[in-house]
Amino acid sequence: MMPDDQKAIESSYEQAKALYAKWGVDTDQVLDQLARIRVSINCWQGDDVRGFEGSDELTGGIQVTGNYPGAARTPDELRQDLAKALSLIPGKHKVNIHAMYAETKGAKADRNELKPEHFQNWVEWAKTLGIGLDFNPTYFSHPLSDDGFTLSHQDPKIRQFWIEHGIACRHIGAYFGRELGVPCVTNTWVPDGYKDLPADRLAPRRRLMESLDQILAADVDTRHNIDAVEGKLFGIGSESYVVGSNDFYLAYAAKNNVTLCLDAGHFHPTESIADKISAALLFVDHLLLHVSRPVRWDSDHVVVFDDELQRIMEEIIRSGVSDRVFIALDFFDGSINRIAAWTIGTRNTLKALLKAMLEPTAVLKEYEAKGDLTSRLALMEELKSYPWAAVWDYYCLRQNVPVRDQWLAEVKRYEQEVLLKR
Ligand code: RNT
Ligand code: ZN
Ligand 1 pocket test, candidate residues 62, 239, 245, most atoms within 8 A of CB = 62
What's the CA-to-centroid distance between 394 and ligand 2, angstroms? 32
Pocket test for ligand 1, best of 233, 263, 298, 331 (most atoms within 8 A of CB): 263
| pLDDT tens per residue across span 239-273 | 999 999 999 999 999 999 999 999 999 999 999 99
In angstroms, the CA 160 to CA 157 distance is 5
Atom number in ligand 1 closest to CA 332: 10
Note the residue count of the chain.
422
Q: What is the pLDDT of residues 4-57, one digit of tens each?
A: 899 999 999 999 999 999 999 999 999 999 999 999 999 999 999 999 999 889
Tell me which residue has its CA closest to atom 1 in ligand 1: 62
Nearest ligand to the CA of 49 is: 1
Q: How far apart are CA 311 and CA 275, in angstroms?
A: 8
Q: Which ligand 1 atom lies nearest to the CA of residue 138?
A: 11
Tell me the β-bridge partners of 187.
228
139 CA → ligand 1 middle, Å: 10
Probe residue for ligand 1, chosen from 111, 330, 331, 333 as the CB with the greatest number of ligand atoms within 8 Å: 330
116-137 as b/e, with b when 16 or more CB fall inside 10 Å?
bebbebbbebbeeeebbbbbbb
Residue 1 has pLDDT above 80, yes or no: no
Average pLDDT over residues 344-368: 98
Residue having the nearest C-alpha atom to atom 5 of ligand 1: 330
> In this predicted structure, what is the pLDDT of residue 15?
98
Q: Cα of 232 to ligand 2 centre, how many Å?
A: 8
On average, the pLDDT of the chain sits at 97
Torsion-angle region of 131 (φ positive above 0: left; ψ -120 to 50: alpha; else: beta): beta
Q: pLDDT at residue 211 above 90?
A: yes
Q: Whose CA is nearest to atom 2 of ligand 1?
A: 189
Calculate how far, in angstroms, residue 263's C-alpha sits from the geometric centre of ligand 2: 5
pLDDT tens digits, 278-323:
999 999 999 999 999 999 999 999 999 999 999 999 999 999 999 9
Q: d(Cα 64, Cα 341) in Å, to the nearest integer?
A: 13
What is the rounded CA–CA span in Å between residue 128 and residue 86? 13
pTM: 0.98
Q: Residue 106 has what pLDDT?
A: 84
Longest dimension (CA), the chain: 70
Q: What is the reported pLDDT for 56?
A: 80
**In the predicted model, what is the mean pLDDT of residues 194-204?**
98
Residue 401, pLDDT above cutoff 80: yes
pLDDT at 4: 82
Atom of ligand 1 nearest to the CA of 298: 7
HSE on the CB side for 160, CA within 13 Å?
Answer: 3
Catalytic residues: 189, 230, 232, 263, 266, 290, 298, 300, 330
pLDDT confidence of 359, banded at 50, 70, 90? very high
Per residue in 106-125, pLDDT (tens digit) is 888 999 999 999 999 999 99
Q: According to the model, what pLDDT value does residue 55 have?
A: 83
pLDDT, tens digit (0-9, with 9 covering 90-100), for 403-420: 999 999 999 999 999 999
Rounded to an integer, the average pLDDT of 140-151 is: 97
What lines the ligand 1 site, CB under 6 Å? 44, 49, 62, 136, 189, 230, 232, 263, 290, 298, 330
SS3 label, residue 39: strand
pLDDT single digits (tens) 58-69: 999 999 999 999
How far, in Å, from the CA of 154 to the mean position of ligand 2?
25
Residues with CB under 5 A from ligand 2 (ion): 263, 290, 330
CA 37 / ligand 1 centre spacing (Å): 22
